[in-house]
Amino acid sequence: MVSIPVAAAGCSSGVPNGAADKAFLGTVHVEAPDIGTYRTDVALVRLGHAACDGFRSGASYEELADRMSLEEGRHPLPSQDLGVVISAAAASYCPQFVSRVS
């Protein structure tokens, strides 16, 4: 079982502010327009960084999606929205793992 860190590495303030954050959030909000009803931008950025941390630990896309759903508890993102978050995270934060989401 692969453990997916929930805290975002390198995101000390937790406030989305860089070009990568803007690209990530832009993609997420376009591809999952209802996602703002489930998570704040800060929470989305943290999830995005956690996705990259999961890829770095060796998780496959499927393992990562399953683990992130479980770790979100009683109110996980809908699976389609979670897929958008994972894909956008790879494109914006860890492009070396884009091949794992295509």
- Domain layout of the chain by residue ranges: 31-100
Lowest-confidence pick of 17-31, 46-60, 69-83 = 69-83
For all residues of the chain together, what is the average pLDDT?
85
Q: What is the pTM of this model?
A: 0.82
Higher pLDDT, 3 or 42: 42
In this prediction, residue 73 carries a pLDDT of 76
Determine the Cα–Cα distance for residues 62 and 30; give it in Å rounded to an integer.
23
Say if residues 37 and 90 touch (Cβ distance below 8 Å): no
Residue 69: is its pLDDT beyond 80?
Answer: yes
In this prediction, residue 47 carries a pLDDT of 94
The tokens of 25 are what? 């959030």
Which alpha helices (H) appear in 57-98, and where do they start and end?
61-71, 79-92
